[in-house]
Amino acid sequence: MPLMSNVRPHNPSMDSPARKVLVLDLDETLVHARELPLERDEDFRVGPYFVYQRPHLASFIGSVAEDFDLAVWTASGETYAAQVIERIFPVGLLKFVWSSRRCTTARDWTTGHYTTIKNLSKLKKQGYRLENIIAVDDTASKYARSYGNLVTVREFVGDPADAELPLLARYLRSLLHVDNVRSIEKRHWRQQVASEVPAGVA
Ligand SMILES: [Mg+2]
């Protein structure tokens, strides 16, 4: 399926002042990049990396872009992120792209280890209230300070049969008209959506 044009179709929800933003992770959420190729052809290369897109990526982006503002926040470097984004998102679609530079290093006092955190309160300056921010990431610890905003996805490491994104798109739609996304229990989102799918519909 071709990527949608960067002209967003009219959508009544755009008139709402409280449009929600999806803050998407890149690695192991939307793509998997590795130095050694898998047994199948890569989708594209970035520097030394063979990059594999998560199955259904283009239709996922097309679908969520109709309802949400989209942004990327990756703990990877800026140059790598820019090159991946250029390949997978239509030009001009993302509200912002943040890389490792915007991440915070925090110490876990129980283990003594340092971890990388994506602090969502930094998005206030972009005009988004925490109640309207949904973060999608395969690493829950990145949002250790804002679990209420997080939808954790299964890690993608190249499985061509992976079907997480269509399921995720369906779940995200259910959050569209929620007043405060932080008040919704999201840990069992996958089972919740799976149980709503009529038999025979993939
Ligand atoms: Mg990740």
Q: Where are the domains of the chain?
A: 17-196
Write the DSSP symbol of residue 172.
H
Confidence grade of residue 1 (pLDDT, cut at 50, 70, 90): very low
Write the DSSP symbol of residue 165.
H
Helix (H) or strand (E) holding 65: helix 57-67
Q: In the predicted model, what is the mean pLDDT of residues 152-156? A: 98
Confidence grade of residue 198 (pLDDT, cut at 50, 70, 90): low
Q: Six-digit token pair at 41?
A: 């052809």
In the predicted model, is pLDDT for residue 31 greater than 50?
yes
Q: Six-digit token pair at 187?
A: 């840990």
Going from the Cα of 165 to the center of ligand 1, the distance in angstroms, rounded, reads: 14
In the predicted model, is pLDDT for residue 114 greater than 70?
yes
C-beta separation of 22 from 64 below 8 A: yes
Going from the Cα of 26 to the center of ligand 1, the distance in angstroms, rounded, reads: 6
Going from the Cα of 199 to the center of ligand 1, the distance in angstroms, rounded, reads: 31
Task: Kindly give, in sequence order, each residue whose CB lies less than 8 Å from that of residue 61, ignoring residues fewer than 6 positions away.
Answer: 3, 4, 70, 88, 89, 90, 93
The fold of 17-196 is: Rossmann fold (3.40.50)
Going from the Cα of 200 to the center of ligand 1, the distance in angstroms, rounded, reads: 31
Q: What is the pLDDT of residues 58-75, one digit of tens each?
A: 999 999 999 999 999 999
25/21 Cα distance (integer angstroms): 13
Going from the Cα of 22 to the center of ligand 1, the distance in angstroms, rounded, reads: 15
Strands (E), the chain: 21-24, 31-34, 44-46, 49-53, 69-73, 94-98, 104-107, 114-117, 133-137, 150-152
Going from the Cα of 10 to the center of ligand 1, the distance in angstroms, rounded, reads: 31
Going from the Cα of 89 to the center of ligand 1, the distance in angstroms, rounded, reads: 17
According to the model, what pLDDT value does residue 199 have?
57
% of the chain at pLDDT higher than 70: 89
Short-list 3, 49, 52, 50, CA closest to 28: 52
Going from the Cα of 143 to the center of ligand 1, the distance in angstroms, rounded, reads: 11
Residue 114: Cβ within 10 Å count: 10
In the predicted model, is pLDDT for residue 16 greater than 80?
no
In the predicted model, is pLDDT for residue 178 greater than 50?
yes
Confidence grade of residue 6 (pLDDT, cut at 50, 70, 90): very low
Short-list 69, 6, 18, 76, CA closest to 47: 76
In the predicted model, is pLDDT for residue 179 greater than 70?
yes
